Amino acid sequence: MTSHGATQNGKLVVVGSLAIDTIETQGNRAAGVLGGAATYFAVAASFFAPVQIVGVVGDDFPQDELDWFRSRGIDLSGLEVRAGKTMRWTGRYHEDMNVRDTLSFEANVFDGYLPTLPAAYCDAPFVFLANIAPALQARVLDQMRAPRLVGADTMNFYIEGARADLERLLRRVPLLIINDEEARLLSGERNMVRAARKVLELGPTSLMIKRGEYGVLFFSGNSVFSAPAYPLEEVFDPTGAGDTFAGGVMGYLAATGDVSPAGIRKAIVYGSVVASFTVEAFSLDRLRTLTRDDIERRYRQFVSLTSFDVADASA
């Protein structure tokens, strides 16, 4: 174990956005804070496994955040720093925090960016294609030699704006991790079970659907698994919950190498645990002080939250 709790098993490559966010909730606002799908994912996964980031930031990206990533064992040799501005996103949450509006989005240095992976990344057994244009996700996948497990996420912006690229990508992605609205948009179905069936026809063999406070549904072949969300009294900022869920799932799978159905179920609970911490504060702030012990404690609470007597149930 290293000091931050990650084991040195299978490496995990992630490509996706690194951004500066401005977030508005009904009562609070945080401007110019750390964001981006790859950022949330990498920090969450680094509690479990060594992570290698692919992406680009501008020369305005805070040096102390890069130092923080390195201190967590995150490999930044695939991160380009280009002259210009880092990606920027502003979002506002409704009173119902499952609903949010994008107020502004600037791709900035991601415009025209073509990722080239360092040689040391290409043999990684696990790869996650976090939110970014599907053509960029595909370019990263092209450079991986023979990954054991490829996971991916996408969002409304790309489902609506880059559908053809996305459909081409999905034929190469065994594990898709998206939220309920994205599953609806991708499939044209409201019902989650029907939506899942249609999404699985697009290529992935397994699908995790994140449903915010309602938890996660996992579909693979004929099996379905359901995990609740950890019941929290207050959700402060849901930004990045989905990315940290995916980071927990993939980080745990990379650390254990166990991609059996039982291993995946445990990974889903670890992902749910990390996501439940993320939403307790703005941006990645809660993850800055989180420890592996905190994660294990809440994992055990999750187990007792969902255990019931099978004998009683069948009586």
Report the interface residues with ligand AMP, using CB under 6 A: 17, 19, 21, 35-37, 89, 105, 131-132, 157, 239-240, 242-243
Nearer to ligand AMP, 206 or 239 (CB): 239
- Give me the active site residues, please: 243
Phi, psi of 116, deg, nearest 5: -125, 120
Q: Which residue has the tokens 């130092």?
A: 67
Nearer to ligand AMP, 17 or 220 (CB): 17
Q: How far is the CB of 99 from ligand AMP (least distance, A)?
A: 12
Q: Which residue, 51, 35, 99, 92, is CA-closest to 243?
A: 35
Q: How far is the CB of 96 from ligand AMP (least distance, A)?
A: 15
Nearer to ligand AMP, 19 or 183 (CB): 19
- Specify the DSSP element, H or E, that contains 78: strand 74-82
Nearer to ligand AMP, 130 or 256 (CB): 130
Phi, psi of 259, deg, nearest 5: -105, 25
Q: How far apart are CA 204 and CA 97, in angstroms?
A: 29
Q: Which residue has the tokens 């995150």?
A: 74
| Shortest-Cβ-distance residue relative to ligand AMP | 35
Q: How far apart are CA 246 and CA 45, in angstroms?
A: 8
Nearer to ligand AMP, 44 or 256 (CB): 44
How far is C-alpha 195 from the geometric centre of its chain's CA atoms?
A: 20
Q: How far is the CB of 231 from ligand AMP (least distance, A)?
A: 20
Q: How far is the CB of 119 from ligand AMP (least distance, A)?
A: 26
Q: How far apart are CA 256 and CA 45, in angstroms?
A: 12
**Integer angstrom CA distances of residue 154 from 79, 122, 224:** 20, 22, 21
- Specify the DSSP element, H or E, that contains 295: helix 292-306
Residues 6+ apart with CB under 8 A from 173: 129, 150, 151, 152, 203, 204
Rounded to 10°, the helix 292-306/261-278 angle is: 110
Please count the other Cβ atoms lying within 10 Å of the Cβ belonging to residue 201: 10
Q: How far is the CB of 122 from ligand AMP (least distance, A)?
A: 23
Q: How far apart are CA 196 and CA 261, in angstroms?
A: 18
Q: How far is the CB of 240 from ligand AMP (least distance, A)?
A: 5
Nearer to ligand AMP, 242 or 251 (CB): 242
